[in-house]
Chains A and B, each alone.
Chain A
Amino acid sequence: MPAGHDVTELLDDWSRGDRDALDRLLPLVYAELRRIAARQLRHERAGHTLQPTALVHEAYLRLVEQRNVEWQNRAHFFGVAAGVMRRILVDHARRQTAQKRGDGVQRVSLEHIAELPSANQIPVLALDHALTRLEKLDAGLAQIVELRVFGGLTIDEAAHLLNVSPSTAKRDWRTAKAWLTRELASESQS
């Protein structure tokens, strides 16, 4: 295979049906996102987490602003980025959890704990687990969740990417949300 592709070319190839393009694209986007994320996250306070959709949007804007990437490529890009974002966030969450378990040192009494994440945020790991289960049960639903939640796609974009009608995508999204809500609720009770 000749060397020297860029992201848009690969997206282009992919959108025209070249599945290999995705295989080539994904690890590279992933590596770069991950490297950047790792570097930034180390300076994050624990109370903050990434906003994945903003991140992906920004990355995409960079492509779109300057390059007139066609509309369907937008969805494709987000499709790729959604999966990447999910992995980055999960890895990060895992590391943080491991770290918290890892130190056996006496806690300092701190009033600042109040700054920890607010209760209504969905833990990344729990969502990831639930999504993994949904993937086994109903891959299509899991896909739309990943696109919406981690990639920030609109219903219409997700519909386009999944090759379904917007009304179908909307219904699927609603069903998936209900399933996840149920799943996450039952998990937190167990």
Chain B
Amino acid sequence: MTWAPTADRWQRVRRLFEAAIERPVPERSAFVSAAVAGDETLRGEVEAMLAADAAGAALSEQWPVASESLLAELRIAFSTVRVGSASSPGLTAGNRVGNYDVVAPLGAGGMGEVYRAHDARLGRDVAIKILPHAFTTHPERLARFEREARVLAALNHPHIGGIYGIEEAGTAPALVLELVEGVTLADHLKEGRPDIEEALTIARQVADALSAAHDKGIVHRDLKPANVKITPAGVVKVLDFGLAKADGDGATPELAHSPTITVTATRDGRLLGTAAYMSPEQARGKTVDKRSDIWAFGCVLYETLSGRRAFDRETVSDTLAAILEREPDWRMLPPATPASVRRLLQRCLEKDVSRRLRDIGDAGLELDDAIGRLGSRSFPRRVFDLGRERRSAALAGIIIVSTVLGITLLWRAWAVRPGFPDRWQPTFTQITSQSGLEWFPSLSPDGKWVVYGGDAEGNRDVFLQSTTGQTPIDLTTDSIDDDDQPAFSPDGERIVFRSSRDGGGIFVMGRTGEAVRRLTRRGFKPTWSPDGREIAFTTENADLDPQNTVGLSSLWVVNVASGEERQLGNIDAVLPSWSPHGQRIAYTTRGAIAGSTRLDIWTIDRSGKNPIAVTTDGARNWNPVWAPDGRYLYFVSGRGGPINLWRVPIDQTSGKTEGPPEALTTPSPFVAHIAISADGTRIAYSSILRSRNIQKLAIDPATGIPRGEPTWITTGSRLWANPDPSSDGKSLVFYSSVQPEGDLYVARADGTGLRQLTSGAESIDRMPRWSPDGQWIAFHSIRGKDQFLWKIRADGSELQQLSPLADAIYPTWSPDGSRIAVLMGAGIGHRENDVYIFDPSRPWKDQAPDVIPPPAGSPDEFVVNSWSPDGALLAGQAGLAAHGILTYSLRTRRFDRLTDFGGYPVWLPDSRHVMFVSGGRDFSVVDSRSRKVQKVFSVERDIIGPPQVTRDGREAYFSRRVTEGDIWLLTANPPVSR
């Protein structure tokens, strides 16, 4: 029974309750009794409230947990959503604005409504643009805008749309503009891709306009094809200069800086719009300057050449993610695009603003040259016929290699030079070459010795080695547990390290491995105080990809002599480093969100007070290490691409930075775990190399037990995954997750004869599955934000979408090839998490799919993965996160749970045994009748992916990820930091 008092009654109860709780508990009953004056019902009601008050104190604390990856997206969404509304125009024909008669609306752009108006005095038509609301509420913004408008008006540039004046339209200011006839570049591009010469000529004029404006200190802020108009005479005019949120002069960083996305609310509440031309710094909400225009110019040039947007996804947040993280698909540029123009594009679309082209004038010169070289060569005006398209696509495929190379070299040439000041004369020496992963080096104070963690002996051990020698000494050879993360004491006599022995903790030993003693019962990555009396450590580990997967990792200090521990602050910290004069500890803090890759560097006072950020951009900044003189903090960062070495000047007392970070680019593709010698002339680090390739394992068809060792089918750095053998066992299909991710490839079963099957930066194709007749490959493909089911012939022809329903994943062929089972995720147009079985040879409209609802009572959906050879059973895993193996009988229509661990099951030929992967380390086989599980194959330190078994059950194919690490030594002369 719920309680439904009248409003009056409630107010009485409430007043009495609130008066009662002001009194000490023992007095309350008496108080209430007296106050209700014999109204027992009222007394009961107040007492019930008091009882609830006592019981329900924790109400607000009982809130549930999780789903934090969502927050990452919210970040972007909230910083960038601009709200517009599909509103009716405020002016109609016949209205007057100043001396102008409104003729008709020209359409509402993101920046306000535009009208055609007539100027009777001068007998010409003009455009009148009502300025956005923002201008009316921020006088200083309006003032600045007026100032810029005057400058632009005076500029009178042939490629800048003219500004005639500012008028009042009702309460809103209105701009009177040159009415430029013609089409916008956006519309022009819709008709087809211009030829290269035309594209470059258009871009040249845009660059000219920008250059003139930049010279006067005016930034466009919202350059995009819709703001570029091409007159019938072919003259290009850039419109809407400075209109995009002309705001304060940078002294007041406000929201207004960033959003140049225009979002229109449609009736169904969806947000439409494009962020496609935003620069990374705009996307991050930072101050916009002329280099943001240069980025936008790069986007426009790319789009004009390729006919496609450089960064475009279905949603605003996905587009922004692409801008921040992805390269444009350079293959989309016409093959004949001059190399100089490609380079120019790369320089304009450099994500790191400090590396971006500085002056748009340079772009103009570059384009002039390119146009000159094209000379009178003629290009087909438009490519209409499909055959030609195909050929150019093939050509684009061929040139990809050279383009990629171009990028790499360019990046190197660029980064290394400014990276190390000339006087450094850095040399780089690889000092370990054991197999496996050597990491966490620490240099002895004299720089002659290095200790590090390595796994060449099977488990992780601490090794000692001369920095000039090649022979490592295993200091923890007696330990069968993992010993890692060693650090020399400041006097060089002792080594502290993390060990998993006896429950795990921090241990100290002499520098040659003697006299091991325990310091703590937990903790990772110990770091010495400069006086050698204390050691800081963190409660959680981080090695190569610091990610917040388990919640807070707190920072502690232990006294080496007494073993006394104290916590520093209430912070998330991994990979700490103690400053040379001892006052502060630098550390890496991970995004608050589980799974976030956002990493920043902070420092905290040794007292645990006053944490201060060193970096705030979240650009995967981690592993801070103080220079011996305390004037710099070295760290590694993924800003500007691969993880490399950076440093930032810092005051070690206050923790305040004293300048921007600078890159010290090493030749390594992935730098981790920095250590600096006491004299500052040497930096040791681990150079990490990751690969993922396909392996083949011969197995017994009845039991799945291997017959021999696996062999490599592919090599190299393309990060292959998801192999699937054709039923005749002669071919393999798999995918590559090298950026741009998600193209499918086909090769012979021995890895030779590799050819690309699908391409395109706009799609990520995954989970290819060969049809039993070997004719088709079904796969799911992320296009926009959703995944759809597609198929393609093994020869690359007849690419077709199988289902219009979004979020169809894990296509699984029936053994006769007549059906496909697929998991329908949370997309639109179907219920969540059903498995559909349909006929892939018929169009979707003719389908009557057999629907299998997810297992009742289970929190996990059935992720179908394999169809038994006898056709009777499906095998799949519970949930996308693989919480065990399930089968589903198509006869009884019931699920059966075989295991509570592992995922991606595949049937062996007997339709009874199922092979699956668990933990990225083991393959096991489970008998679907007895549910007996047998582990058949394991790897020590690599990560193995889901197996796929040939029809005869004699071979299993899978991907294997290998991480190698070697210690390198950077020697700089003169000293690194003096």
Contacts and interface: CB of A to CB of B under 8 A. Distances in A.
Contacts of B1: 186, 190
Contact of A4 (B82, B315, B860): B82
B104 interface: no
A55 B263 contact: no
Interface stretch (B53-61, B177-185, B928-936, B940-948): B53-61
B134 interface: yes
Interface string B1-21: 111110100100010011001
Contacts of A67: 253-255, 285
Interface in B578-608: 592-593
B259 interface: yes
Given A42-B825, A49-B67, A137-B5, A112 B55 contact: no
Contacts of A187: 2
B66 A49 contact: yes
Nearest to B87: A1
B785 interface: yes
A159 interface: no
Contacts of B706: none
A133 B86 CA distance: 35
Contact of B90 (A2, A34, A68): A2
Contacts of A8: 254-256
Interface residues of A, number: 91
Contacts of A102: 831, 853
16 contacts: A6-B83, A7-B82, A29-B81, A40-B69, A59-B75, A63-B255, A67-B253, A99-B832, A103-B854, A105-B894, A108-B855, A108-B896, A112-B859, A148-B60, A149-B63, A183-B2
Contact of B52 (A68, A112, A181): A181
A111 B900 contact: yes
B110 interface: yes
A1 B133 contact: yes
A181 B79 contact: no
Contact of B73 (A5, A36, A47): A36
Given A5-B83, A59-B74, A181 B55 contact: yes
A2 B133 contact: yes
Contacts of A117: 64
A34 B84 CA distance: 18
Nearest to A69: B255
Nearest to A27: B269
A31 B896 contact: no
Interface in B179-196: none
**Residue from B21, B84, B893 with most neighbouring chain A CB atoms (10 Å):** B84
B881 interface: yes
Nearest to B785: A39
B307 to A, nearest CB: 28
B65 interface: yes
Contact of B900 (A5, A24, A112, A175): A112
B661 interface: no
A58 B22 CA distance: 36
Interface string B739-776: 00000000000000000000000000000000000000
Interface in A127-185: 133, 137-138, 148-149, 171, 174-175, 177-183, 185
Interface string B845-885: 00000000111111110000000000000000001110100
B832 to A, nearest CB: 6
Contacts of B310: none
Interface of B: 1-5, 7, 10, 14, 17-18, 21, 48-53, 55-57, 59-60, 62-71, 73-79, 81-87, 90, 108, 110-113, 130-134, 137, 172, 252-256, 258-259, 262-265, 269-271, 284-286, 315, 317, 592-593, 616, 785, 807, 825-826, 831-832, 853-860, 879-881, 883, 886, 893-897, 900
B826 A39 contact: yes
A66 B271 contact: no
Contacts of A185: 52, 55
A48 B65 contact: yes
A31 B900 CA distance: 38
Given A3-B112, A5-B134, A58-B593, A182 B60 contact: no
B133 A9 contact: yes
Given A48-B64, A58-B71, A182-B3, 15 more contacts: A2-B131, A4-B133, A33-B74, A41-B826, A50-B66, A51-B64, A58-B68, A61-B75, A108-B896, A116-B859, A171-B18, A175-B14, A177-B59, A181-B55, A181-B56
Contacts of B86: 3
A180 B56 contact: yes
A149 B81 contact: no
A177 B56 contact: yes
A111 to B, nearest CB: 7
A90 interface: no
A29 to B, nearest CB: 8
B593 A178 contact: no
Contacts of A122: 59, 62-63
Contacts of A63: 78-79, 255
Given A8-B255, A186-B3, A3 B895 contact: no
A28 B896 contact: no
Nearest to A13: B137
Nearest to B22: A171
A168 B74 CA distance: 33
A55 B86 CA distance: 29
B52 A178 contact: yes
B863 to A, nearest CB: 12
Nearest to B17: A175
B255 A3 contact: no
Contacts of A59: 71, 74-75, 77-78
Q: Return the 8 tightest CB-CB contacts between A and B, nearest first.
A: A181-B56, A42-B826, A48-B66, A46-B859, A3-B84, A8-B255, A182-B52, A58-B71
B855 A38 contact: no
A37 B70 contact: yes
B879 A45 contact: yes
Contacts of B285: 62, 66-67
Contacts of A3: 84-87, 108, 110, 112-113, 132, 262, 264
A36 B64 contact: no
B62 A120 contact: yes
Contacts of A9: 133-134, 137, 255-256
B109 to A, nearest CB: 8
Nearest to B112: A2
A79 interface: no
Contact of A115 (B60, B807, B859): B859
A63 B896 CA distance: 49
B48 A68 contact: no
Contacts of A65: 616
A173 B945 CA distance: 52
**Residue from A31, A51, A110 with most neighbouring chain B CB atoms (10 Å):** A110
A175 B16 CA distance: 11
Given A27-B265, A32-B81, A178 B56 contact: yes
B854 A2 contact: no
A61 to B, nearest CB: 8
Contacts of A62: 74-76, 78-79, 285
Given A9-B255, A37-B70, A67-B285, A4 B859 contact: no
**Residue from A5, A33, A42, A180 with most neighbouring chain B CB atoms (10 Å):** A5
A109 B856 CA distance: 9
B7 A66 contact: no
A111 B83 CA distance: 48
A178 B17 contact: yes
A183 B48 CA distance: 10
A6 B49 contact: no
A181 B56 CA distance: 6
Contacts of B592: 54, 58
A54 B68 contact: yes
A63 to B, nearest CB: 6
Contact of B134 (A4, A29, A61, A137): A4
Contacts of A5: 82-84, 132-134
Nearest to A3: B84
